Amino acid sequence: MTDPKLRLHGVVKRFGTKLVLDHVDLDVSRGEVISLIGSSGSGKSTLLRCINLLEPTDDGVIELDGVDVAEPSLDADPIRRRIGMVFQSFNLFPHMTVLRNVTLGPRKVLGQSSREADTLARDLLGRIGLADKADEYPDRLSGGQQQRVAIVRALAMQPEIMLLDEITSALDPELVGEVLDLVRDLRTQGMTMLIATHEMEFAREISDRVCFLHAGRILEQGPPERLFTAPTEERTRAFLQRVLDLG
């Protein structure tokens, strides 16, 4: 852990007077997969949005390869393109075909030619078995297919880190598997990932480390085997009991 890929130090985020992230510290190594768990409103989405600079932070440092990207005067666009994000509600662009969804970033941001971007996108879509959907509009796809396209759209930018925000929460149970399989593939390929999730089983299986968020703080973190079986914090225990009982 000499040079973390991503390092958060004392990150603070307020919405009005409400403190949503309360001095968050977190080091993420290259290739590491970290799950963020915690009850609704604990700040998981906000943390991911802050890392991707979709939300400005109020205080603290966010270092990407040792460079502080939370510096308010910095142009955020070139940084965002290095970080991929996938959302709970897919957020595909409904007025564009699947192919155009995937090629938009590479063409407009990376300056790839249409042909170059198309070839790459079709290749990526082929790998997830959606080559035949390239020219469909997103509303013709199932939720699971849409979410996989959203992941591919982020991947087409060749990001250094992927942020996944509850990407299976809006899916029918039988479609969850195909999306999680794709995340497993990403792990195998060595992608650095931060995953906010309610799927405890999945978090346990895929993570190198699990962080439990409570009221905007990382209350406890550790390898999944330990955190899920022997949490040290009372709050973590109560949370795990609650969600595992439900599931």
Ligand X SMILES: Nc1ncnc2c1ncn2[C@@H]1O[C@H](COP(=O)(O)OP(=O)(O)OP(=O)(O)O)[C@@H](O)[C@H]1O
d(CA 154, CA 149) in angstroms, rounded, equals 9
Verify binding: residue 77, another protein, rule CB under 8 A. Answer: yes
Verify binding: residue 46, ligand X, rule CB under 6 A. Answer: yes
Which CB atom, from 140 or from 242, has the smaller least distance to another protein?
A: 140
The residue from 94, 126, 190, 223 that contacts another protein (CB under 8 A) is 94
Return the residues of window 4-23 that contact ligand X according to CB under 6 A: 15, 20
How many chain residues interact with another protein (CB under 8 A)?
30
Who contacts 46 (Cβ-Cβ below 8 Å, separation ≥6)?
Answer: 13, 20, 21, 55, 216
Question: Which partner from the list ligand X, another protein, Mg ion, none does 87 bind, CB cut-off 5 to 8 Å by kind?
Answer: another protein
d(CA 79, CA 56) in angstroms, rounded, equals 13
Stretch that binds another protein, among 6-14, 35-43, 102-110, 176-184 (CB under 8 A): 102-110
* Segments in 77-142 forming alpha helices (H): 77-80, 98-108, 114-127
CB of 40 to ligand X, least distance (A): 3
User: Would you list the DSSP string of 30-82?
Assistant: TT-EEEEE--TTSSHHHHHHHHTTSS--SEEEEEETTEE---TTS-SHHHHTT
d(CA 190, CA 183) in angstroms, rounded, equals 11
Dihedral angle computed from the Cα positions of residues 106, 112, 114 and 120, in that order, rounded to the nearest 10 degrees: -60
- Which residue type sits at 245? D
Return the residues of window 115-174 that contact another protein according to CB under 8 A: 139, 143, 150, 153-154, 157, 170
Stretch that binds ligand X, among 27-35, 40-48, 173-181, 183-191 (CB under 6 A): 40-48
Q: Give the interface with ligand X as residue ranges (CB under 6 A).
A: 15, 20, 38, 40-46, 166
Q: Give the interface with another protein as residue ranges (CB under 8 A).
A: 49, 52, 54, 77-78, 80-85, 87, 89-95, 104-105, 108-109, 139, 143, 150, 153-154, 157, 170
